[in-house]
Amino acid sequence: MTQQPDHSWLRTSLVMIMTLREADAGIWNTEEMAEFAKSFSLDALGFSVGGIMAFYPTDIPLHPRASTLGKRDLPAELIASLKRRNIRPIARIDPSMASRALYAERPEWFVQDKSGKPVEVHGHFITCPNGGYYNDFMIKVVEEILTRYPFDGLWANAAQFSPWHTPQCHCAVCQQKFRAKTGKAIPDEDWGSETWRQYNEWRYECIAEWNARVQAAKTRVRPSCAWMPLSQVAESWDHSRVGGWDLDYTEPHQDGIVLEAQRRYANMFWPGLEARYMRSLAPGKGGGITTSYFLPWWRFYRVPVAENQMWAGQVISQGVMPWIHVTGYQKEQFDHRGLDGLRELFARFDRNRQTYMEATSVAEVALVYSRHSLDNFGHKDPTGRYLDHFRGAYNAMMDQRLAFDIFSGTRITAATLAKYKAVVLPNAACLSDEACKAIETYIRNGGHVVSTYLSGNFDEMGAPRSNTLLGRLIGAKATGVTWKNLRAAYAAIRDPSSPLLAGFDGTDLLPVAGDVTFVRTEDHSTLAPLTLVPPVEGEVGSGISVPEFNKIDHITDYPMVIDRKVGNGRIVHFPWQPDLIGFRYGFRDLFRLLANAIKQADGWQNIVTVKGPGLIDVSVMEKSDRLVITLVNFSAPGSFNTGQRRIIEELIPLHDLELVVRVPSSFSGEKARLVFGEAELPLARLGDDRVCLTIPRLEAMETVELLYG
């Protein structure tokens, strides 16, 4: 039996990816660059080697060498400098474009727009992932690089359709391949068309096929090298969807997972989202979440240290290693102000790896991310139709300080769900038959599901179900009626004693907006604790009324929550959009409503309760000898709303946060260790299974370690 290569180093490695420019080939001092890498406590350094241009003396015809390279063998020099410092080398390749000379030789390898013309970027032409450049030329490049140099990793940038915001490909290879798959011509974008949705899914499949070819080539030449192409999840739908990036498709063909959290996307929780997703998707594989040192359009201008601390902190709190990306580091015309802060942060991570690495989440809530819903229900507005639901549920977890995991809607099985006390489906509209069956099995066996809006109403490709998920669980029937784009509506609190409405003392209504879908249920005997109040407005759809006439005339009995036992478990369904509306308006009451629904799970007890001010992301991990609780501080001053992303220049320190932690009954410790504070704190006992401590100050992040021994 052939021994499988050991890529376990990826699970515990701090990594930097450095992009070379053509001029760097002749001037890079490899000893200085290796020393620069060492100053960040790195285990591995990735750098540009081949693809768009070769930074090594390639023998492949029409693989252009960097003009300043001369006779230099830059990878050999840099690898030697890195090895002297025990830093692993990673080769960066980029197959996204190639030279005009190669286009003149093999035009069929390149993207063609709908008129048949090639697509130009930076004086090069964009290459097609289905063509010979990717599948012949780049395979030769990979084999040449890995034959010559002892790289420990191989990393690909921009291996995708439509890189650099370029048009859809209509080359002959794509046309032939798609027709062979479906019998159809490549369509124009039309999300109402089954053919377009098939084409969209086909792009994901094609990129996965190329990943498999590179994996096979790498294995032939240097199996010890880890193949780990770049990808992205969720926030980057405008980039990854057209590009054919779907980690669920490519993961089987990768030795490691590398997801990128680029700064062009404004949601500050994206690195934590990707780390949670990566950890659940491929728990045995290492890799990291790459954050950029720079701002997206200003590649030499630093991100403030506070923001980088918060971004990287989210990643390591999930037991995933943070990576950092630097473009064209240079001594001049470069913003150095963030370097020392990052060095200090990575040094702390380095000193405390034993705390974070190889730990397992003990979160009892799972949040489902559904890429099929993003695409096949989201259509032209995936942010409004799906992603803002997911963002709202994510924010509810943070706001209500619940430890949680994320997993893919394509990986739902009864076994996947069984470890959780509660599973949240934020408008997971498009689910496969297998996923729906697994959810039903989970609930009937005692599981607890919280769902919103149209979850489970369509199959994974967006076709409406004759029997929805809610229908198969409780016999609910769709009426076909949806009130759209409501404003100034309310949910009336009809039963203040309901646990679902805990914490709402002093109000008898909650805000409602967006869409409400109407369904019929078989059980009408009990009034729901929350019912619909139609919009209070002067003209229908305006959301506005003259103050003198602003009054509630009618409270319906239509339930704004459907709460039913199913077998030994339970489903709590909101036939509207509290997650989306909570996210868009920042309604804490709606976040609390979702959290209360989660806490109705049978036997629910918080793993950790955090009391005190601020917006905090909580994670709870466990190793055989310790419990690891990490708080990441998201509390930052506001800024002018410019229509662009918000830059976090500083974080507001939080003080005197009280933690109540559920511990095993055998736990006998009397102190907790603060990892960043480098101090010990006393523990107070609260019965057999609870301890209490107070964190005096939380800056960017803090980790509390409870040793079992």
Q: Which residue has the higher pLDDT, 331 or 641?
A: 331
Q: Which CATH class is domain 365-598?
A: alpha beta
Mean pLDDT confidence for 211-230: 97
**Which pairing describes strands 226-227 and 153-156: parallel, antiparallel, or unpaired?**
parallel
**Cα 370 to Cα 277: distance, rounded to the nearest angstrom:** 11
What pLDDT does residue 329 have? 67
| SS3 state at 53 | coil
**Cα 129 to Cα 142: distance, rounded to the nearest angstrom:** 15
What pLDDT does residue 264 have? 72
Q: Which residue has the higher pLDDT, 687 or 413?
A: 413
**Cα 570 to Cα 610: distance, rounded to the nearest angstrom:** 27
Residue in the block written with tokens 């700064």: 263
- Which tokens belong to 629? 């609780």
Crossing angle (nearest 10°) for helices 388-399 and 578-585: 70
CA 437, distance to chain mean position in Å, is 26
**Cα 440 to Cα 451: distance, rounded to the nearest angstrom:** 13
**Cα 597 to Cα 451: distance, rounded to the nearest angstrom:** 10
**Cα 454 to Cα 368: distance, rounded to the nearest angstrom:** 14
Whether the predicted pLDDT of 639 surpasses 60: no
What pLDDT does residue 318 have? 96
Please tell me the least confidently modeled range out of 61-70, 85-94, 147-156, 329-338. 329-338
What pLDDT does residue 178 have? 98
Q: Which residue has the higher pLDDT, 248 or 294?
A: 248
Beta-carbon count within 10 A of 390 CB: 27
**Cα 678 to Cα 674: distance, rounded to the nearest angstrom:** 5
Mean pLDDT confidence for 185-201: 97
Mean pLDDT confidence for 291-311: 88
Q: Which residue has the higher pLDDT, 573 or 331?
A: 573
What pLDDT does residue 641 have? 54
Contacts for 683-687 with beta carbons within 8 Å, 24 or more apart?
686/660
Q: Which CATH class is domain 608-707?
A: mainly beta
Provide CB contacts within 8 A for 367, sequence distance 6+: 390, 393, 394, 397, 404, 405, 406, 424, 426
- Which tokens belong to 183? 């019998």
Q: How far is CA 300 from CA 19, 34, 66, 391, 645, in A?
A: 12, 20, 21, 30, 18
Length of the chain: 709
Mean pLDDT confidence for 91-104: 97
Strands (E) across 130-223 are located at 153-156
Provide CB contacts within 8 A for 165, sequence distance 6+: none
- pLDDT, the chain, mean: 94
Under a CB-based contact definition with an 8 Å cutoff, are residues 348 and 316 in contact? no
DSSP letter (8 states) at residue 20:
P
Report the percent of the chain where pLDDT is more than 90. 87
Under a CB-based contact definition with an 8 Å cutoff, are residues 256 and 287 in contact? yes
Whether the predicted pLDDT of 540 surpasses 90: no
DSSP letter (8 states) at residue 167:
P
Under a CB-based contact definition with an 8 Å cutoff, are residues 654 and 617 in contact? no
Give which of 523, 417, 420 is closest to 473, Cα–Cα: 523
| SS3 state at 280 | helix
Band the pLDDT of 550: cuts 50, 70, 90.
Answer: confident
Under a CB-based contact definition with an 8 Å cutoff, are residues 161 and 167 in contact? no
Helix and strand totals (H; E) in the chain: 22, 33
Under a CB-based contact definition with an 8 Å cutoff, are residues 91 and 102 in contact? no
**Cα 358 to Cα 354: distance, rounded to the nearest angstrom:** 8
DSSP 538-573: SSTTT----GGG---------BS-EEEEETTEEEEE
Under a CB-based contact definition with an 8 Å cutoff, are residues 302 and 293 in contact? yes
How many CA atoms does the CB half-sphere of 76 hold within 13 Å? 9
Residue in the block written with tokens 């990717």: 134
Under a CB-based contact definition with an 8 Å cutoff, are residues 524 and 564 in contact? no
| SS3 state at 192 | coil
Domain ranges of the chain: 8-255, 365-598, 608-707
Whether the predicted pLDDT of 302 surpasses 60: yes
Alpha helix (H) residue ranges in 422-530: 433-444, 469-474
Beta-carbon count within 10 A of 669 CB: 16
**Cα 98 to Cα 105: distance, rounded to the nearest angstrom:** 11
Mean pLDDT confidence for 650-670: 93
Alpha helix (H) residue ranges in 606-682: none
Band the pLDDT of 642: cuts 50, 70, 90.
Answer: low
What pLDDT does residue 645 have? 61
Per-residue model confidence as pLDDT tens digits over 452-508: 999 999 999 999 999 999 999 999 998 889 999 999 999 999 999 999 999 999 999
Q: Which CATH class is domain 8-255?
A: alpha beta
Give which of 145, 210, 214 is closest to 177, Cα–Cα: 210
What pLDDT does residue 643 have? 55
Give which of 505, 10, 65 is closest to 258, Cα–Cα: 10
pTM above the 0.85 mark? yes
DSSP 68-119: T-TT--HHHHHHHHHHTTT-EEEEEEE-SEE-HHHHHH-GGGB-B-TTS-B-
**Cα 372 to Cα 375: distance, rounded to the nearest angstrom:** 5
What pLDDT does residue 262 have? 80
Residue in the block written with tokens 């992040």: 701
- Which tokens belong to 150? 């002892």
Per-residue model confidence as pLDDT tens digits over 673-686: 999 999 999 999 99
- Which tokens belong to 600? 């109705």
Under a CB-based contact definition with an 8 Å cutoff, are residues 127 and 191 in contact? no
